């Protein structure tokens, strides 16, 4: 390994011994779908802070929540249901993806039986918002997707960034994994898409029950703000048009 390659390490804070746990990745990405969904899961299931991933490639910033500084990239875990989550307060820089993914494989893979990754994809229409398709790394994980009622992605494509690195590492080392691709609004955080992936994919796939009413309220608030901004822009355009017509009228009579 080159000396220029950033390194990462997992710092374990608690012991974890669950039967057939699933790791669910919730790192920031398009529409913040993974982050929103997995944060809801971590909170609802009251998962414990299991450990943190430290890397010299991560920015030198301090993350905090509820008045306390916390590690930037964290792993949470719980035994009933057996679930682990991977979360971060910032997007993972491209130069940190390889080392972070390697750390998950080397230091964490022995603690979970399968991994589920989440990736946002831009919706091409309103009707597409919230649509979910799956991609599997093996016959086993493909059958799990089918049994959960999740359509397999029909088109070819690629998944980049940290999610792609994690998925590729699982595939290369025969760690059962799948990725759920969610159509979302690429311009804003999309709690509607997060709600959809929880209710229509993660709940039947992982077999847990998550209350998503909070995400619905967040989506309604975002929609209200979008409508308010649209109304303000419309009023501004109308005002500019009226001012332009007034100036044009004055010029005609000078």
Q: Are residues 145 and 244 located together in one domain of the fold?
A: no
In a domain, residue 3? The reply is no
Plot region of 163 (φ>0 → left; ψ -120 to 50 → alpha; else → beta):
alpha
pTM: 0.86
Q: Are residues 121 and 222 located together in one domain of the fold?
A: no
Q: Are residues 165 and 241 located together in one domain of the fold?
A: no
Is 50 exceeded by the pLDDT of residue 25? yes
Is 70 exceeded by the pLDDT of residue 18? yes
Plot region of 86 (φ>0 → left; ψ -120 to 50 → alpha; else → beta):
beta
Q: How far apart are CA 26 and CA 13, in angstroms?
A: 20
List Cα–Cα distances, 168 to 2, 108, 160, in angstroms: 20, 16, 10
Span 157-183, average pLDDT? 96
Q: Are residues 119 and 29 located together in one domain of the fold?
A: yes
In a domain, residue 140? The reply is yes
Q: Are residues 76 and 200 located together in one domain of the fold?
A: yes
CATH of the domain at 75: 3.40.50.10900
Domain that holds residue 229: 212-254
Q: Are residues 205 and 223 located together in one domain of the fold?
A: no
Is 80 exceeded by the pLDDT of residue 95? yes
In a domain, residue 2? The reply is no
Average per-residue pLDDT for the chain:
90
Positive or negative, the Cα torsion across 117, 190, 54, 15?
negative
pLDDT tens, residue by residue, 71-88: 999 999 999 999 999 999
Give percent above pLDDT 90 in the chain.
Answer: 74
pLDDT at residue 235 in the model: 73
Q: Are residues 97 and 187 located together in one domain of the fold?
A: yes
Q: Are residues 27 and 130 located together in one domain of the fold?
A: yes
In a domain, residue 137? The reply is yes
pLDDT at residue 242 in the model: 64
Q: Are residues 103 and 27 located together in one domain of the fold?
A: yes
In a domain, residue 139? The reply is yes
Q: Are 185 and 123 spatial neighbours (Cβ–Cβ below 8 Å)?
A: yes
Domain count, the chain: 2
In a domain, residue 22? The reply is yes
Q: Are residues 102 and 204 located together in one domain of the fold?
A: yes
In a domain, residue 12? The reply is yes
For tokens 């991609």, name the residue. 135
pLDDT tens, residue by residue, 30-79: 999 999 999 999 999 999 999 999 998 898 888 898 899 999 999 999 99
pLDDT at residue 239 in the model: 74
Q: How far apart are CA 78 and CA 46, in angstroms?
A: 8
In a domain, residue 1? The reply is no
């Amino acid at each position: 390994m080159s000396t220029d390659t950033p390194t990462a390490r997992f710092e374990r804070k608690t012991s974890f011994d669950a039967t057939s746990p699933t790791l669910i990745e919730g790192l920031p990405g398009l529409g913040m779908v993974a982050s929103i969904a997995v944060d809801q899961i971590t909170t609802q299931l009251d998962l414990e802070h299991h450990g943190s991933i430290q890397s010299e490639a991560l920015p030198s910033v301090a993350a905090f929540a509820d008045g306390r500084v916390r590690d930037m990239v964290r792993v949470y875990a719980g035994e009933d249901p057996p679930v682990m989550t991977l979360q971060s307060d910032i997007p993972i820089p491209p130069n940190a993806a390889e080392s972070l993914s390697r750390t998950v494989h080397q230091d964490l893979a022995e603690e979970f039986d399968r991994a589920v990754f989440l990736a946002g994809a831009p919706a091409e229409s309103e009707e597409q918002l919230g649509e979910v398709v799956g991609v599997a790394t093996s016959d086993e994980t493909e059958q799990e997707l089918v049994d959960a009622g999740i359509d397999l992605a029909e088109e070819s494509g690629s998944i980049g960034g940290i999610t792609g690195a994690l998925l590729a590492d699982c595939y290369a080392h025969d760690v059962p994994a799948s990725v759920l691709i969610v159509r979302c609004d690429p311009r804003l955080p999309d709690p509607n898409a997060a709600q959809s992936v929880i209710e229509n994919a993660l709940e039947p796939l992982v077999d847990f029950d998550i209350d998503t009413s909070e995400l619905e309220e967040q989506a309604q608030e975002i929609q209200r703000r979008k409508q308010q901004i649209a109304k303000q822009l419309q009023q501004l355009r109308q005002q500019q048009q009226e001012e332009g017509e007034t100036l044009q009228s004055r010029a005609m009579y000078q």
